[in-house]
Amino acid sequence: MRSGGTIAAAIEGSLVDTARAYSRPDVPAGLAGTFGCKAAAVFFATLQNGMSLLARDGVGDDVPMAVAWSGGGPFEGMTRGHRRG
């Protein structure tokens, strides 16, 4: 995850980067079929919903930020074999 900025900007940036990577013409068409797109979507939705619930319940800013940072490692693991350049 990029440092600085907001959690929303970091998530949006990651999603844009992912969409851009999968839109490249030099990436084999079958690649999307080997990546768990639904699993990634569920992962991000769960992470975001959890942060929303925490914020709603009035926790400090550090708690949702810790949740966001904790999602970086698993996402890196999900995408590790699917990145180029």
Which runs of E-coded beta strand occur in the chain? Answer: none
Length of the chain in residues, anyone? 85
Residue 30 DSSP symbol: T
Instruction: Assign 3-state DSSP to the chain and report helix, strand, coil percentages, each to 5.
Output: 70, 0, 30
Residue 85 has pLDDT above 70, yes or no: no
For 55-73, how does the pLDDT look when each residue is reduced to its tens digit (9 = 90+)? 889 998 888 888 888 888 8
> What was the pLDDT predicted at 27?
56
> What was the pLDDT predicted at 57?
92
Distance CA 24, CA 44 (A): 22
For 3-32, how does the pLDDT look when each residue is reduced to its tens digit (9 = 90+)? 556 777 777 777 777 777 666 666 555 555
> What was the pLDDT predicted at 2?
47
> What was the pLDDT predicted at 1?
44
> What was the pLDDT predicted at 39?
79
* Residue 79 φ/ψ, nearest 5 degrees: -100, -5
